[in-house]
Structure 1
Amino acid sequence: MCQEIALLLSAGVSTDQSKLVSKEFPLAFEEENFTLKPPKLDGWMSRRAREKNTLKTVNSSEEALIKTQLKIMDIGPPLIDLYARVVAVADDTPAGVRSRRSLQAALQQWGRAYAHISRKRREAIVNATDPRVDYLLKDETVFTRGKEAREHLFTGEFLELMLKEASQDETLARRDQAAAAASRGRRNPIRMAGYGNSSGSSAPRVYGDDFEPTARGRGRGRGGHGRGVSRGRSQSRPAKRGPR
């Protein structure tokens, strides 16, 4: 048995052998339209990839991952067939219970590998079309409920989440734009301190020839107090005379 397992691990089986093995275990399910097939890519996501000019990238990743998923899917038929036969036998002995548990564990591991490929398909498609919403993929409950979740890769529930997030982003973007426009529209009160008049004109004031600014910025005329200097003249203190 060890040699047989070692050979399978190193060489596996050919594609033709795998197809023959699958044909040995035809399955018929009680639930109508239940099949073991990889989930299909949703039509709305295909259209989105076309609009984003990433359809070629999406198709390339889908082709590679689906091939792997099909190989994993081929494990299912013989495993499910054996599990159904063991469960149908009412064997509550320790050996019977152990056999059922072993098969159940094998199915769990098979499902884990299969679901992992579906997860990688979603990640590749979202990264190619809408990488900003990749965090929505963490809620895997939208991919596990109902028939649609089994047959389609994303489902309508995920589309609703995307539309909700897009609407919120658009609302926030409009609010930020309005705030930025309002901030630009405010007039700087410091710049306006030396301009304007009662009519709201922004032209600078025109003063007479005798206006001279003081250190505090207030004009003084010739008749005003203080030591203003008239335009075109210069003043200086008389020199002190020494003792005779």
Structure 2
Amino acid sequence: MSGEPHDGEQYDDGFGREVGVGPHPLPWPKGDRYDPELLAHGDRRNVVDRYRYWTREAVVADLDTRRHPFHVAVENWSHDFNIGSVVRTANAFLTEQVHIVGRRRWNRRGAMVTDRYQHVRHHADVASLASFADERELPIIGIDNLPGAVPLETAELPRRCVLLFGQEGPGLTEEAWKHASLVCSIAQFGSTRSINAGAAAAIAMHAWIRAHAEIPGG
């Protein structure tokens, strides 16, 4: 255990009801992955049952053995409040890393503390992200509903790639388009011209999952 307090990791179901488990009955399980503080006082964190009573470091180490080989990047030029939601979804789909491009500060509230279990990297600009991707031979796939984009529903997403999302409203910057090897749009059928950036990110990530992930029981 790192000795860090668990403040901020308490979680409820949205109706004020606690989730998780209480103190572990004696005898306690043995092993370095278990956190004595959680065993003694209970584990109310927003983690799946597999990780109950584990230290944060043990959870991250286990996730690192199973992460999917795609990255998620978000342009953040005006403190986009959707970034927290994107990080939470990236954690759910077990992405390799999340990249914040632009301003370093972002609203972590929407992440529901999942940023503590997800590798998050900052880049000052798109050129820095592109350099990171080039060094690892990761094509950048932009997601934006603008002329020239290929429908995500018919596109073949690479197994190793970076999914790059623009911020709410303006979408991808011109520089981002220049560095993208492919830009995909999400099919829409209603009257609105765009969908929420966090929702768009979730749709694109799930498209990758459908194409490449090994589905349990499938």
TM over 0.5: no
Where relative contact order (Cα < 8 A, 6+ residues apart) is larger, the structure is: 2
- Alignment TM-score, normalising by the size of structure 1: 0.20
Give the number of the structure whose alpha-carbon radius of gyration is greater: 1
- Alignment TM-score, normalising by the size of structure 2: 0.21
